[in-house]
Amino acid sequence: MNNSTYVRLADGRLVDAPLVDARNMTCPMPLLKLKQALNQMVSGDIVKLLATDPVSKRDIAAFADLADHKISVKQDANEIIFIVIKG
């Protein structure tokens, strides 16, 4: 994990979360970086992942579904932002 950032949850709370910067990395690296971060966390912890590889959206969504993690995905012109809550 690179550092931390603040994440606003759906209920309005602002929480400090680790930030994984996987921008400019191609698959499978964003997914592997996310898995490394999640392995250091407990259920309910939150991590923010930044990626630029469009394949990451599919891979991370499939992984989160299989592992019972909750994800929120937002995309702008330059990057994909994943908020992942460990299941």
CB of 42 within 8 A of CB of 86? yes
CB of 35 within 8 A of CB of 22? no
Q: Is 85 a catalytic residue?
A: no
How far apart CA 79 and CA 45 sit, in angstroms, is 23
CB of 37 within 8 A of CB of 60? no
- Active-site hit among 1, 19, 25, 27: 27
Q: Which residues are catalytic?
A: 27
